[in-house]
C-alpha cells in the first residue's frame, strides 16, 4: 500500500479546524472523514460570517447554505444548495453521496433529506448577523418588513450585494494516498433567494482526483462556474503542471472574465500545495502530521492585466 505524509490545505479561515482534521489523518483515518470534520468545525463557528451558523443571510434574512464533498478515489460526490435550518450542511452533502442515488439536492428537498436522516437543526441567523442584515437593508432604504412585502427583489439585490463572498475549503491527502475535498459556504451576502454559487457545484468550486490532486475556490463563485475552475485546475495538475502554476492559471482565467475577488487552493497527489488570489493580503493554511499547528502562508497574487 502506498504511504503518504498526511496533509490538509485550507482557505485561511479554516485554520482553527486543521488540528482536528490532522488528528484523524495521523490515526490512519480517511481524507474524507478529515475534510468533513474540518468543515463541521467552521460551520458551527458563529464568528465566521461566511459559513454555516452565523453566515450572512440572503436579502430576505434567510441563511441559505451550500456545501459539497468529493471522494477523489471513487469520484463519488454529494452536494446541497440553499439548505436552510441545519447546522452541518457538509454532513447532509455527505449523506447525499452515501445514502441517496443522487449527487445534488437543493432547497426544500435538501431540508427534507436533512430531516429524514436526523441531521441537527439550528437557527443559522445569529443576533449579530441579523443586525448586519438590518443595517444593510437600512443602507438601501429598506426594513425587514418592507423587504418581505416587495414583489420585486431585483432592484434591491443590485444594491445589497457587494464584494462579500466568503467560504471555506479543505483539501486532504491521507496516509493511504487518498484525496478528498470539502467546501461549505453561506454564499454571497444579501443575495437573491435561491442563488447558488460555485461551492456545491462539483468541478466549479470543488474537485479532486486521487491520481492528480485537488482544488477548491473562494470568492466570486459565478467566475468558478463559468470557468469550471476546480476541474480545470485538476486537469492541469494531470499534465504535470506544479500547483503554483496551476493556481496562477486559475486566477488568470478568472481575471480574464471580470474584476472580482477570486481565490484558489491547490494540492497535488504528492502533497505539494499552493494558493493564489487576485486581492492583496489573502492567506491560506496547511498542516501535516509532523506539525503542532497550522502554517499560515501568503497566497500568490495574480493581478489583472490592464486592458
Kindly list the residues in this chain that would bind ligand GLY in the complex (CB under 6 A). 165, 167, 185, 187-188, 197-199, 205, 217-221
The end-to-end CA distance of the chain, in Å, is: 51
CB 83 to ligand GLY: min, Å: 13
- Please list the alpha-helical segments (H only) found in the chain: 18-26, 31-43, 89-99, 107-116, 127-139, 144-149, 154-160, 221-227, 229-238, 243-257
Give the nearer residue to ligand GLY in terms of CB position, either 220 or 284.
220
CB 109 to ligand GLY: min, Å: 19
Kindly provide the residue ranges of all beta strands, DSSP E only, lying in 152-292, ordered along the sequence: 168-173, 179-185, 206-209, 213-219, 262-268, 273-277, 283-288
The angle that helices 229-238 and 243-257 make with each other, rounded to 10 degrees, is 150
Least Cα distance to 283 among 293, 291, 292, 274 occurs for: 274
Give the nearer residue to ligand GLY in terms of CB position, either 165 or 299.
165
- Please name the residues in contact with 302: beta carbons below 8 A apart, sequence gap of 6 or more: 248, 251, 252, 255, 276, 277, 278
Q: Are strands 206-209 and 213-219 parallel, antiparallel or unpaired?
A: antiparallel
CB 246 to ligand GLY: min, Å: 18
100 assigned to active site: no
CB 14 to ligand GLY: min, Å: 14
Distance CA 95, CA 79 (A): 9
- Specify the 3-state DSSP secondary structure of 275: strand
CB 162 to ligand GLY: min, Å: 13
Give the nearer residue to ligand GLY in terms of CB position, either 178 or 198.
198
Give the nearer residue to ligand GLY in terms of CB position, either 187 or 203.
187
Give the nearer residue to ligand GLY in terms of CB position, either 86 or 188.
188
Residue among 49, 73, 167, 218 flagged as catalytic: 167
Active site residues: 167
Amino acid at each position: 500500500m502506498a504511504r503518504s505524509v498526511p496533509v490538509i490545505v485550507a482557505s485561511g479561515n479554516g485554520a482553527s479546524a486543521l488540528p482536528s482534521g490532522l488528528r484523524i489523518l495521523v490515526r490512519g483515518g480517511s481524507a474524507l472523514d478529515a475534510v468533513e470534520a474540518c468543515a463541521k468545525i467552521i460551520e458551527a463557528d458563529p464568528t465566521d460570517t461566511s459559513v454555516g451558523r452565523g453566515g450572512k443571510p440572503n436579502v430576505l434574512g434567510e441563511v441559505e447554505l451550500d456545501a459539497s464533498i468529493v471522494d477523489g478515489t471513487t469520484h463519488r460526490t454529494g452536494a446541497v444548495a440553499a439548505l436552510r435550518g441545519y447546522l452541518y450542511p457538509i454532513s447532509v452533502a455527505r449523506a447525499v453521496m452515501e445514502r441517496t442515488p443522487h449527487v445534488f439536492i437543493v432547497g426544500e428537498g435538501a431540508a427534507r433529506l436533512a430531516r429524514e436522516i436526523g441531521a441537527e437543526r439550528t437557527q443559522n441567523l445569529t443576533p449579530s448577523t441579523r443586525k448586519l442584515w438590518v443595517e444593510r437593508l437600512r443602507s438601501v432604504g429598506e426594513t425587514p418588513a418592507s423587504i418581505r412585502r416587495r414583489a420585486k427583489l431585483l432592484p434591491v439585490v443590485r444594491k445589497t450585494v457587494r464584494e462579500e463572498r466568503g467560504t471555506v475549503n479543505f483539501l486532504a491527502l491521507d496516509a493511504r494516498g487518498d484525496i478528498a475535498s470539502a467546501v461549505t459556504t453561506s454564499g454571497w451576502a444579501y443575495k437573491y433567494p435561491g442563488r447558488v454559487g460555485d461551492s456545491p457545484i462539483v468541478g466549479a468550486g470543488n474537485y479532486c482526483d486521487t491520481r492528480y490532486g485537488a482544488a477548491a475556490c473562494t470568492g466570486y463563485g459565478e467566475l468558478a462556474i463559468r470557468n469550471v475552475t476546480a476541474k480545470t485546475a485538476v486537469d492541469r495538475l494531470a499534465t504535470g503542471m506544479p500547483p503554483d502554476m496551476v493556481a496562477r492559471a486559475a486566477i488568470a482565467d478568472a481575471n480574464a472574465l471580470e474584476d472580482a475577488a477570486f481565490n484558489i487552493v491547490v494540492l497535488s497527489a504528492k502533497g505539494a500545495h499552493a494558493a493564489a488570489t487576485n486581492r492583496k493580503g489573502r492567506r491560506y493554511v496547511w498542516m501535516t502530521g509532523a506539525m503542532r499547528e497550522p502554517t499560515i502562508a501568503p497566497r500568490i497574487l495574480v493581478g489583472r492585466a490592464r486592458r
